Structure 1
Amino acid sequence: MFEASGSQSLAAIEAKNKLSADFKRKGILIALLSGLCYGFYTAFMTLGMSKGVWIDWYGANKAGLSAFAITYLLGAIGAALTDSCSAGWAVLISIVRGKLGDFFRCLKTKPGMVMVVGALVGGPISSTAYVIGLQKAGSIIVPISALCPAIGAILARFWFKQELNARMMLGIAICFGASFMIAIPSLGGDAPEGMFLGICFGFLAAVGWGFEGCVCGYGTSMIDSEVGITIRQVTSGLSNLIILIPLFGMISKGGNTVELVTAAFTDGSSIFFFALAGLAAYGAFMFWYKGNSMCGAALGMSCNGTFSFWGPFCCWLVLGIAFGMDGWAIPPIAWAAAIVMVIGIFTIALNPLDLLKSKEEK
């Protein structure tokens, strides 16, 4: 009788371990999917900003816009349009899944407000910096922006006193080394105009997303991931529209800001691609949050960081191959650096010895 009971207990433990392993494996796949979605978000947003009215704005005559407006105001409008489309998808999905009430209730809570604060940095600042970087330097800035896990680890050490051991510091050094590899072409005298500025904005995006990752880690641990992503995208879209765009509009000279925003939101030639970019952005953050909850923040962060590879790849695939646009071929050093970046991110998030121990336990 006791032997039968012991066998049943052992079988139950094995079944539980198998379920846990399957759950974690599924979480890893979901987190990896977030990196892929981020790659398509980058490609479709860039494609949208090359169609319709955007051709006139970035064309030879610049539609009478100042250099400041072309660089910063248009970048903010592109980010706002993408985030607004993403917010629309998020709200629509919340309505379909019956979670819109939870969205409004969570806004009044401390975790909800934490998500709002993180989105204010990750949205108006990082998203706009990311768009400007793409316009100035192309998809080469994607691996630069993928420094956000490394920066997040550094910020977490100072703000939340989280562990930053020798292995994690090695991973951070690898990530920054990969960024230097990418930046090498911009340091020479024959570098394309604006590339160095684009790389700087890519780094600014990484800093903002690193901050957002630290802050929102608290919020997403206490609220539903779908509700969290809705708060994030709605906050990001609105803050871009009512804070950043008016600010840049006042600073820039030439062009009516309201007319530019209206033209961008009603342009039939480009809005379809922004809608696709918004859906991909929703998937990127949604799968990131969900993957983190299933396989752990460290492993989820490393899987999401693979967008350092998927970003340039999707841009090359969509813009270069599918639409035949020039300038989206990836230099060999950038491909190599993207792979090195992924290795660095995994080094920050995981101890290789732990993987070996897991295999031995099995």
Structure 2
Amino acid sequence: MNEVSGAANAQVVAAKKKLSSSFFKKGITVAILSGMCYGLYSAFMTLGMAKGVWANNLYAGVTVGGTVLSSFVMIYMLGALGSALNDTISGIWCILIAAIKGKLGDFFRTIKTKPGAVMIVAALIGGPIASTAYVVSLQMAGSIIIPITALCPAIGAILGRILFKQELNARMMGGIAICFAASMMIASTSMTGDAPAGRALGMIIAFIAALGWGIEGCVAGYGTSMIDYEIGITIRQCTSGLTNLIILVPLWGILSGGGVGLAGELIGNVVTDMPSLIFFIISGFASVYAYSLWYKGNSMCGAALGMACNGAYSFWGPFFIWIVLGVFDGQKGMGLPPIAWAAAIVMVLGILVIAMNPMDLFRKKED
């Protein structure tokens, strides 16, 4: 009887290990897909900002509402507007998905809770600040800034140590050093004689995006540990989009001298411009899964490995921008120099070292 019981227990343990391994591998796949979706979102948003009224406002110096758009407005205000439009459309996608899955009631109930409030705070940091900086840096320097924004896990690890006394051992510090070395490799491309004007400033602004997302990751980690990741993403995208659209864009309008009226006219122009809006609809949809699959992957394979897999967007971002804008849309200058591609891969490796001991992958395989 004991032998039969022991054999049965061994089968149960083996089945459990097999199920856990399958769940773990699926989590890695989900986290990798989140990085790919982030690359797609970046590519289609950038394409949208090169079409229709965006192309006119950015490159032709068009007068809007009687005010000639200065370079100040073209770079920062339109950057905020692009981020606002993408995140607002993404929030609408999130609400539609939640309604289809019967979670809309949970969304409104969660907003009133403490974890919901934490997600709102995280969205305010990652949206109006980081996302706008990301869009502005993309417009100024192109896809070369994406690996720089992928420094956010390294920054998050440092901030986690400072703010929450989280572990920061020698291996993690080594990974952070690798990430910063990769960013220096990318920055070296701005020192060449043929570097486009504004690339260096764009890279600096990209660091602001990385800092904002690093802070957001620390804050949001608390909120998403207690609520459905799909509800958390809905709160995040709606808060970010509406804050950008209602507060930040009008504020840039006032600072530019055009007032709230200029902001309103620009918003009206972009939401009715179908040649560009169609690409924002696609980028907004990709944004839903760029963020939601990240959280889902973290819950399945662990936040550390999930963060590393998602961090591969430092490669997928430039890759899809090159494919979508360079190959399909025929825009020139979308390719990256070899050193930037190499730096993107080094950045992914650095993030992996921060997130986990790479040797654990081989140990799991042996088990």
> Which residue of 300, 303, 313 corresponds with 1:297?
303
**Equivalence for 1:311:** 317
**Equivalence for 2:51:** 51
- 1:106-185 residue pairs with structure 2 within 5 A? 106-185=110-189
Q: Which amino acid aligns with 1:78?
A: G
User: Aligned pair 1:334/2:340, yes or no?
Assistant: yes
Counterpart CA distance in 2 for 1:112 and 1:85 is: 20
Q: Give yes or no for contact 1:167–1:347 (8 Å, CA) kept in 2.
A: yes
Question: What displacement does 1:60 show?
Answer: 3.1
Counterpart CA distance in 1 for 2:287 and 2:349 is: 24
Counterpart CA distance in 2 for 1:353 and 1:194 is: 41
User: Aligned pair 1:201/2:211, yes or no?
Assistant: no
Q: Give yes or no for contact 1:47–1:273 (8 Å, CA) kept in 2.
A: yes
**Equivalence for 1:192:** 196
Q: Give yes or no for contact 1:65–1:253 (8 Å, CA) kept in 2.
A: no
- Tell me the alpha carbon deviations over residues 35-92 of structure 1, each in whole angstroms, 9 at most, x when there is no partner: 0000000000000001110111012334320121111100000000000110010000
Q: Which amino acid aligns with 2:29?
A: L
**Equivalence for 2:264:** 258
- Tell me the alpha carbon deviations over residues 141-196 of structure 1, each in whole angstroms, 9 at most, x when there is no partner: 00000001100000001111110000000000000000011011223454311101
- Tell me the alpha carbon deviations over residues 337-358 of structure 1, each in whole angstroms, 9 at most, x when there is no partner: 0000000000001102323332
Counterpart CA distance in 2 for 1:50 and 1:238 is: 23
Cα RMSD for the two superposed structures: 1.1
Question: What displacement does 1:327 show?
Answer: 1.3
Counterpart CA distance in 1 for 2:243 and 2:60 is: 31
Q: Which amino acid aligns with 1:7?
A: A
**Equivalence for 1:325:** 331
Q: Which amino acid aligns with 2:352?
A: F
User: Aligned pair 1:214/2:233, yes or no?
Assistant: no
Counterpart CA distance in 1 for 2:365 and 2:192 is: 47
Q: Give yes or no for contact 1:38–1:281 (8 Å, CA) kept in 2.
A: yes
SS at match of 1:256: helix
Counterpart CA distance in 2 for 1:102 and 1:289 is: 18
User: Aligned pair 1:281/2:287, yes or no?
Assistant: yes
- Tell me the alpha carbon deviations over residues 100-128 of structure 1, each in whole angstroms, 9 at most, x when there is no partner: 10001111111111110000010111110
- Tell me the alpha carbon deviations over residues 290-327 of structure 1, each in whole angstroms, 9 at most, x when there is no partner: 00011110000001100000000000000000110011
Query: Runs (4+) of structure 1 moved beyond 4 Å?
Result: none
**Equivalence for 2:85:** 81
**Equivalence for 1:40:** 40
User: Aligned pair 1:6/2:10, yes or no?
Assistant: no
SS at match of 2:257: coil
Q: Give yes or no for contact 2:352–2:358 (8 Å, CA) kept in 1.
A: no
Q: Which amino acid aligns with 2:38?
A: Y
SS at match of 1:269: helix
> Which residue of 236, 239, 262 corresponds with 2:240?
236
**Equivalence for 2:365:** 359
Q: Give yes or no for contact 2:156–2:215 (8 Å, CA) kept in 1.
A: yes
SS at match of 1:123: helix
SS at match of 1:330: coil
Q: 1:113 to 1:318 in 2, by over 3 A?
A: same
Q: Give yes or no for contact 1:35–1:304 (8 Å, CA) kept in 2.
A: yes
Q: TM-score, normalised by structure 2?
A: 0.96
Question: What displacement does 1:246 show?
Answer: 1.4
